[in-house]
Amino acid sequence: MGCASLKYKKTVSKVELDRFMGKWYVIAGRFTYFEQGAHNAVENYTWNEKHNRVDINFTYNKDSLKGEEKNITQKGWIKNKKTNAYWEVSPLWPFKFDYLVIDLDKDYQWTVVGVPSQKYVWIMARNWKMDSKKLDEIIDRIQSKGYDIKNIKRVPHAWNI
């Protein structure tokens, strides 16, 4: 049985939702069709108290640093309330997919999110200037946990801050 056919279900032991909320720069990953060509990719998580869910806003520039700005809104529901590390996310009704927080910095400066099939993975950070050494360390960490790391691509970023 190949690695791609395994169903990966491991998550971090605990996500403090209030610390996880906010802006995350998408540093690298294996992306969905809609994310192909993303530059300056950012996920923003907001807790929606009224609906008891996470509202997710994904923005990026298409195909270049100055490309057309795209926006994808999603909704996320916490499926494992003991760990808060397993969500179900809907980018478009009626579609939903499992969203697993598979690694997380103790200071919430970076995180890794995957799906059980390992087809998609996102490495995100609070700062868009992650150096290659740090990215390689994170990729090594997720590989050591049994997650497939093939074909991970870096997202180009250039912000005028």
43 strand-pairing partners = 24, 58
Specify the pLDDT at position 7.
72
Q: Which of 58, 29, 34, 23 is nearest to 156 (CA)?
A: 29
- Token pair in block for residue 98: 């499992």
C-alpha 145/C-alpha 134 separation (Å) is 17
| pLDDT band, very low/low/confident/very high, at 2 (cuts 50, 70, 90) | very low
pLDDT at 5 over 60: no
pLDDT at 133 over 80: yes
56 strand-pairing partners = 45, 74
DSSP element (H, E) containing 23:
strand 22-30
pLDDT in tens, 53-67: 999 999 999 999 999
Cβ proximity of 102 and 12 under 8 Å: yes
3-state secondary structure of 49: coil
The whole-model pTM stands at 0.92
